[in-house]
Amino acid sequence: DQQVKQNSPSLSVQEGRISILNCDYTNSMFDYFLWYKKYPAEGPTFLISISSIKDKNEDGRFTVFLNKSAKHLSLHIVPSQPGDSAVYFCAASEYGNKLVFGAGTILRVKS
């Protein structure tokens, strides 16, 4: 039973345009959500996070939106750059407990 789902295995976007990566979860007790970015042959690196008491968090070109009623979060990257091409993992935790990861979305930014 997947508690965190990333339904799009891959996404292709033109350089300069917006990339939107989506994530759905089923556990209503999750209170903290994170996005990780992973390049080939490297470990995941933390990108941005959001607490369940907020509905938006912004960091430069990256913005995460949380819709608790829909149990949905999304990551917006504006503008997208070729260096953003990577696998993006959504993760969630309950009261600072263990992280549960989605399967990841491969983002390709074309120049």
Partner 1 sequence: NAGVTQTPKFRILKIGQSMTLQCTQDMNHNYMYWYRQDPGMGLKLIYYSVGAGITDKGEVPNGYNVSRSTTEDFPLRLELAAPSQTSVYFCASATVAKNIQYFGAGTRLSVL
The nearest distance, CB 80 to partner 1, in angstroms, is 23
The closest of 32, 20, 27, 23 to 76, measured between CA atoms, is 20
The nearest distance, CB 91 to partner 1, in angstroms, is 8
Q: Of 4 and 64, which CB lies nearer to partner 1 in the complex structure? A: 4
The nearest distance, CB 76 to partner 1, in angstroms, is 20
Question: Concatenated DSSP letters for 24-75?
Answer: EE--TT--EEEEEEE-TTS--EEEEEEETT-SEEEETTEEEEEETTTTEEEE
Q: Of 3 and 79, which CB lies nearer to partner 1 in the complex structure? A: 3
Summarize as ranges the residues that interact with partner 1 (CB under 8 A): 4, 6, 9, 32, 34, 36, 41-46, 49, 89, 93, 96-99, 101-104
Q: Of 14 and 45, which CB lies nearer to partner 1 in the complex structure? A: 45
* Dihedral sign from CA coordinates of 9, 14, 87, 69: negative
